[in-house]
């Protein structure tokens, strides 16, 4: 393949900007029906259907479950440096996750009226770990470690090809079971349960479009973290080292031909130097060239304010800004990386912040995966007779204004007649 051709767009070109903002690959009804058929097959056919799909899509010839001994043997084959990296990553993720759990509280709203916020971990969760082009032990850690920190008792992991590094991460994270299945059939098994794969309360983790579509298909039955599309990065800079900026763009582009990598700047000379660096550094990397050629772009803004306005419109999974001043404003992104040394890849592996992040504009309404995703927050209410009497002038008029006479009477009857001892 020839050298990558990265689009250079002026921010004033509204039509080109709108095309970049429109996620690709959506609305494929035929594909959605295909995924739904797989999901329905597992829901009704259980293990038999699951084994059939696993053989067809995962090329599985052995048992679905990876035994504890297999995990230990696999982990033993991992280089010591990688095992140490896995342990340190897990420790950093746990340190951050411990601060993310909502807090229990008891509050007296008025005399005789109290509210307790009770925080309970989910009982079972399913973590999906992709097993396509690369083994991804980091994705296992990013999903399973926060669940463990939140207090989830049973953590099940599905990975179509669990390499030794993934097995080492599974042991480090303290998961319950690991299954050699992937794709839509793995999601369906976790959502509905089979004899081999237990039904879970929530499914989390990244995956290909089969996984994403299956998660959307089961969302009414089983909670999911969010619908995740191809990975994306937006870099905003008015200065800096072109090779460093190019390296960040390429780091995301190498994930997938559908990945989006966008550089926004108000410096035309810097834009030209970054494009040259991208061309040079992407030589011979087919997937990177496909990704940047199809979905990459350099946008020339009039100034820093316009650049950040555009970045917020994209609501990207990863937002990299070259200086602190650019971050001193409302931001819309899955995760933000500030300054030349805060490489996006540092967040993928080592900072402790989670790399399972919203894509395709979903950062407009939620952030990345956290320990808070693995708990239920309940309101527990206690009201005395005197407290109810204080609340009655608020409750009764509102209930009758809404035409709900029974609601009003349920208060009045308690205040008219004292219960017999």
Element (H, E) at 375: strand 375-383
DSSP 279-301: HHHTTT-HHHHHHHHHH-EEEE-
The Cα–Cα gap between 260 and 251 comes to 11
Which residue in this structure is represented by tokens 């899509």?
Answer: 57
Q: Which entry of 172, 232, 254, 318 is annotated as an active-site residue? A: 318
Catalytic site includes residue 317: yes
389 vs 109, 116, 213, 386, 402, CA distance in Å?
A: 14, 20, 51, 5, 20
- ∠ CA(229), CA(283), CA(277), 5° rounding? 85
Q: How do 260-265 and 297-300 pair as beta strands?
A: parallel
Residue partners of 127: CB distance under 8 A and separation at least 6: 140, 143, 144, 147, 155, 156, 157, 158, 175, 203, 204, 205
| CB neighbour class for 229 (10 Å; exposed up to 12, middle 13-18, buried from 19) | buried
The Cα–Cα gap between 8 and 5 comes to 9
Calculate the dihedral angle through the C-alpha atoms of 164, 165, 168, 170, rounding to the nearest 10 degrees. Answer: -100
3 state DSSP class of 350: coil
Contact 234, 318 (CB under 8 A): yes
Element (H, E) at 260: strand 260-265
Q: Which entry of 172, 232, 254, 317 is annotated as an active-site residue? A: 317
**Where are the extended beta strands (E) located within 29-176?**
65-66, 105-110, 113-121, 124-128, 154-158
| Cα first-last separation, the chain | 87
**Residue 22 per-residue DSSP state:** S
| CB neighbour class for 328 (10 Å; exposed up to 12, middle 13-18, buried from 19) | exposed
Catalytic site includes residue 185: no
**Residue 329 per-residue DSSP state:** S
Give CA 49 to chain center in angstroms: 28
46 vs 50, 126, 224, 396, CA distance in Å?
A: 6, 17, 21, 51
Active site amino acids: 317-318
């Amino acid at each position: 393949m020839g050298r990558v051709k990265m689009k250079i767009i002026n921010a004033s070109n509204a039509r080109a900007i709108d095309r970049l903002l429109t996620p690709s690959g959506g609305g494929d009804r035929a594909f959605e029906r295909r995924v739904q058929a797989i999901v329905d097959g597992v829901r009704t056919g259980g293990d038999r259907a699951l084994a059939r799909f696993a053989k067809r899509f995962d090329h599985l010839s052995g048992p679905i479950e990876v035994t504890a001994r297999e995990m230990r043997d696999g982990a033993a084959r991992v280089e010591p440096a990688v095992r140490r990296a896995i342990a340190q990553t897990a420790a950093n993720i746990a340190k951050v996750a411990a601060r993310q759990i909502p807090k229990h509280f008891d509050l007296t709203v008025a005399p005789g009226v109290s509210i307790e916020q009770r925080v309970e971990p989910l009982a079972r969760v399913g973590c999906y770990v992709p097993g396509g082009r690369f083994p991804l032990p980091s994705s296992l850690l990013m999903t399973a470690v926060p669940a463990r920190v939140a207090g989830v008792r049973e953590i099940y992991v599905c990975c179509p090809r669990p390499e030794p590094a993934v097995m080492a991460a599974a042991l480090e994270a303290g998961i319950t079971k690991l299954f050699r299945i992937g794709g839509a059939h793995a999601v369906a098994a976790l959502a509905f349960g089979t004899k081999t794969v237990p039904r879970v309360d929530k499914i989390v983790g990244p995956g290909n479009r089969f996984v994403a579509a299956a998660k959307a298909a089961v969302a009414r039955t089983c909670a999911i973290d969010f619908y995740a599309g191809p990975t994306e990065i937006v870099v905003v800079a008015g200065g800096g080292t072109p090779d460093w900026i190019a390296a960040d763009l390429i780091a995301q582009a190498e994930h997938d031909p559908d990945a989006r990598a966008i550089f926004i700047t108000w410096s035309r000379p810097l834009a030209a130097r970054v494009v040259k660096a991208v061309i040079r550094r992407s030589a011979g990397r087919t997937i990177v060239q496909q990704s940047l050629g199809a979905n990459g772009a350099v946008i020339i803004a009039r100034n820093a304010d316009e650049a950040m306005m555009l970045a917020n419109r994209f609501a990207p999974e990863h937002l990299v800004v070259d200086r602190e001043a650019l971050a001193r404003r409302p931001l819309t992104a899955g995760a933000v990386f500030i300054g030349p040394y805060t490489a996006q890849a540092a967040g993928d592996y080592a900072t402790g912040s989670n790399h399972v992040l919203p894509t395709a504009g979903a950062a407009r309404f939620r952030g990345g995966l956290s320990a808070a995703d693995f708990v239920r927050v309940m309101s527990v209410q206690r009201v005395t007779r005197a407290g109810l009497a204080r609340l009655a002038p608020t409750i009764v008029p509102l209930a009758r204004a809404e035409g709900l006479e029974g609601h009003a009477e349920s208060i009045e009857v308690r205040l008219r007649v004292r219960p017999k001892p």
